[in-house]
Structure 1
């Protein structure tokens, strides 16, 4: 019994120790270092001026092609580090923006978010850098944005790559709507432990590795800073954007070659916890959603990654990168 008491205490203390090791992060991550130099592009939005952070990764031996990497909702451009390094090694220029409301970019207090707005901001950045055409890769929410971007700028988008994109189904058909204030209240309650548990269950299928912790710490660090209410408000606004602005009905309008990389263990679905028990069983079925989406797109290639969750480029990097490079080089 005496031996069990220290073990029990250690179990109880581990979450507290993890939080103690976290450092508070301000709204624009000024005390967090990205893997490549960060620059800023000014955008005029709804009579306001905001800063859009981005990384421009240039190769030593350019092949003349550019790839744009669009991050997911609970992430920022930093998690594309290894992808960008390998693309650069293969001759690609890689541009990695943080969307307004995310990462090192501005966190507005008053803004109406739309995917069209984020796409326009991204195009404005690319225009300022002299990019006239590119392959566009989006993960998770970035997949919804990449799809909207490709629909708005089809001649600019040479190829489209969707890595476990959300928005392959219209959740509002099965999930009750909740106002922004409710999303905000939920965000204000976030903790390091809650963030990890969500990612463990929804992103990694219960299969955790210590390397995943850095992406939990970024979000958890925000919760410890006085700026957090502003960060949480932006998170709530963008949840509303994701929930109310589906792209699922427009996949058949995509004209460029499209690569779908789908981790088969993924079960992500926005608001699934609020759905009926019957709907919960059906929502976020990525094996079925990937096949259905590929059938809707005229020129689609589907790569199914068995026993991989929501983040193939983090969880199963080599299996993600091989089909990506093959697709880009076609």
Structure 2
């Protein structure tokens, strides 16, 4: 018999799932109502699960699209979505194909263009023509590609500790084959996931509220179908490494906000290079400035002492400048007005 566990209790529930565990998170209930967009892609029928939340008592000021990272799903945007809805925005939060509750195809050509196209079709299906886009981590690469492909639909772009601010291959990181990535995915355990997040995301300081993001990934591993998902993860890892967006930041034409946790040092393959080379990779303080200089109409928020997940680790410091930016774009404020509002929000939190 299938049973549902509220999302807030994921951390306590994984050990109880047993045979109920699945690579579509069938036994996990998301924080908002789950909806399904069914579409045809690459000769097969796929399902993209998403959440679509709107203010209850007024017409929305606009729509915000939230795009998750590789080690996550849309569910980790719960607090962000609540704040956005309270501020009067409609929020659409998809799980990309291969992630979260969405389909895990056995055969799929993963490209950022394909994921962006899938996302646009989803938005069209729910009647959304224009969006303010936020992408976190890998979602930042998806968001950048989406914005480059469909600039007339993107009112603003926010990159929240995105990966892809540098070309790792050009920095000397060796190529890892898809088969090698697959073996690495199969070898994952809950303990390894926790250790990685502890070191890479939270600087050795673990808090109880981080537990769900380990347990969610551990749920996938419990499934007898996990090898299929592991293959998708290997393919998306290859996509991230071989399809850089860094060379096209100058082509972005919409207002763009960069929110960069300064402690972040995320970089694919840094474990494969020398100590000397590793020290040059994932330098987010430097990468944030370089990226802001490359994007024509951009604003940079630097969050000292914060790592790869500002919206989890330091929500208040993230949300205030983000809302100020969205409100300014929504109200048609000038570039100077938006910059001043964002700066004031940052100063208020310091």
The normalised TM-score by structure 1 is 0.93
**Match of 1:237?**
235
Structure 1 stretches of 5 or more lacking a match?
1-16
Give the Å deviation of 1:22: 6.1
State how 1:209-248 maps to structure 2 within 5 Å.
209-248=207-246
**Match of 1:306?**
304
Comparing 311-320 with 25-34, which one deviates more in the overlay? 25-34
The reply to whether residue 257 of structure 1 matches residue 255 of structure 2 is yes
Change (3 A) 1:79 1:187: same
The reply to whether residue 27 of structure 1 matches residue 4 of structure 2 is no
- Secondary structure of 1:55 counterpart: strand
Report if the CA contact (8 A) 2:54-2:60 is conserved.
Answer: no
**Match of 2:200?**
202
Q: Distance in 2 between matches of 1:70 and 1:20?
A: 25
Per-residue deviation, residues 96-125 of structure 1 (Å, max 9, x unmatched): 000000000000110110000000000000
Per-residue deviation, residues 181-219 of structure 1 (Å, max 9, x unmatched): 000000111011100010111111112111101100011
Q: Distance in 2 between matches of 1:19 and 1:122?
A: 31
**Match of 1:10?**
none
Q: Distance in 1 between matches of 2:213 and 2:14?
A: 16
The reply to whether residue 172 of structure 1 matches residue 166 of structure 2 is no
Q: Distance in 2 between matches of 1:169 and 1:205?
A: 22
- Secondary structure of 2:196 counterpart: helix
Per-residue deviation, residues 100-152 of structure 1 (Å, max 9, x unmatched): 00000000110110000000000000011111101000000000000000000
**Match of 1:6?**
none
The reply to whether residue 67 of structure 1 matches residue 61 of structure 2 is no
- Secondary structure of 1:139 counterpart: strand
Report if the CA contact (8 A) 1:22-1:217 is conserved.
Answer: no
The reply to whether residue 127 of structure 1 matches residue 111 of structure 2 is no
**Match of 2:154?**
157
Q: Distance in 2 between matches of 1:246 and 1:43?
A: 27
Aligned partner of 1:181 among 179, 182, 199: 179
**Match of 2:292?**
294
**Match of 1:51?**
47
Q: CA RMSD in A?
A: 1.4
**Match of 1:84?**
81
The reply to whether residue 145 of structure 1 matches residue 139 of structure 2 is no
- Secondary structure of 2:319 counterpart: helix
The normalised TM-score by structure 2 is 0.88
Structure 2 stretches of 5 or more lacking a match?
1-10, 329-350
Give the Å deviation of 1:231: 1.2
Per-residue deviation, residues 46-105 of structure 1 (Å, max 9, x unmatched): 111100000000112233300000000000010000100110011100000000000000
Per-residue deviation, residues 272-313 of structure 1 (Å, max 9, x unmatched): 111222210110100000000000000000000000000000
- Secondary structure of 1:120 counterpart: helix
Report if the CA contact (8 A) 2:181-2:234 is conserved.
Answer: yes
Comparing 249-258 with 17-26, which one deviates more in the overlay? 17-26
Report if the CA contact (8 A) 1:19-1:192 is conserved.
Answer: no
Per-residue deviation, residues 209-255 of structure 1 (Å, max 9, x unmatched): 11101100011121121011111111101000000000000000001
User: Aligned pair count?
Assistant: 314
